[in-house]
Amino acid sequence: MNTQSERQAGSVTAARVAYRTVKIDGLDIFYREAGPKDAPVVLLLHGFPTSSHMFRNLIPALADEFHLVAPDYPGYGNSSMPTVDEFAYTFDNLADVIGKFTEKAGLKKYTLYVMDYGAPVGYRLATSHPDRVQALVVQNGNAYDEGLDNDFWKPIKAYWQEKTAERETPLRPLFTRDATIWQYTNGVRDKEAISPDTWNIDQPLLDRPGNVEIQLALFHSYGSNPPLYPKWQAYFRNYQPPTLIVWGKNDKIFPPAGAEPHKRDLKALEFHLFDTGHFALEEDGDKIADLMRNFLRENVKLRPSATKQEREAA
């Protein structure tokens, strides 16, 4: 295990972030972890085409008060990348791996932070074990049909209907460097504020032999998610998890049409739209971290060993 410090711009002190790997069903699952072990847990679930790297600044920003854990899915980041012949890349299987990961890591209760692919992974965990989920933080992660009613999803929906080489053709450009840069920069206020480290880390991983086939498999498997939306929405209504929405409103993939319907199902809802794109943490990470700190203090119990000052602040 290697441990080093990562610093968020503008922070006074740097948190100690550990970089670990555990075996789950023969796969190496990499994760980042920081914060007191007895603090409230935040399970951070990343999107496409990135990894736990998307949380590199958020983790140290909150690790003084919370226990943050961010795994990489199989096929992403620093986790194992079995081929499509060795592992069935479906959202059911990703959720199964991450569910087993939470048990091996001893995460008995947690707040779920879901973004992009993290939503279908996280909501499978939540509906399987609703007693484990203390709260939700939703950042451009979809659970409503309205969120997929846009041009980006049209060729993907066609692929759900017919998995053919012809229907793969318009999808393959989505795995290129230009498309990855677009995901990070489209809709942002200031492109010069977005570090090229983001796509320069993600793209070489996408370019690994066999990874495009993995991404196509998951594009196809994404079609398994909309039929589960009624189940996820029923979970919202029946269990009413306190929820913080922090959504980049200029996202062309998951526009705010997918954020608004949460208002009809969730009562304890804090709702924020940011003037930025898909990866809202890149441009508004400081603001999101502040909102999360206040939200978690209000809705999730502090650890038993919290100081008097922490309890009074909460």
Per-residue pLDDT tens digits for 31-56: 999 999 999 999 999 999 999 999 99
Query: Could you give the CA distance from residue 151 to residue 185 in angstroms, rounded to a whole number?
Result: 18
Q: Given this model, what pLDDT does residue 190 score? A: 98
Q: Given this model, what pLDDT does residue 15 score? A: 73
List CB contacts of 107: < 8 A, sequence separation 6 or more.
41, 43, 69, 132
Residue type for position 15: A
**Positive or negative torsion for Cα 228, 233, 237, 241:** positive
pTM of the model: 0.92
Known catalytic membership, residue 278: yes
Of the candidates 53, 67, 262, 278, the residue annotated as catalytic is 278
- Least Cα distance to 278 among 237, 244, 247 occurs for 247
For 198-212, 216-230, 289-303, which range has the lowest pLDDT when averaged over its residues?
289-303
- Least Cα distance to 64 among 137, 11, 136, 133 occurs for 11
DSSP state, residue 186: T
Give the tokens for residue 201. Answer: 């880390």
Provide the β-strand partners of residue 34. Answer: 68
**Is the pLDDT assigned to residue 314 strictly greater than 50?**
no
Query: Could you give the CA distance from residue 70 to residue 275 in angstroms, rounded to a whole number?
Result: 25
- Least Cα distance to 282 among 43, 9, 48 occurs for 9
Percent of the chain whose pLDDT exceeds 70? 91
CB 247 within 8 A of CB 274: yes
**Is the pLDDT assigned to residue 6 strictly greater than 80?**
no
Question: What's the whole-number mean pLDDT along residues 237-247?
Answer: 98
List CB contacts of 109: < 8 A, sequence separation 6 or more.
40, 41, 131, 132, 133, 134
H helices within the chain, ranges in order?
Answer: 58-62, 91-104, 118-128, 154-161, 165-168, 177-185, 197-206, 211-221, 229-239, 262-265, 280-299, 308-313
Mind listing the domains of the chain with CATH numbers?
2-309 (3.40.50.1820)
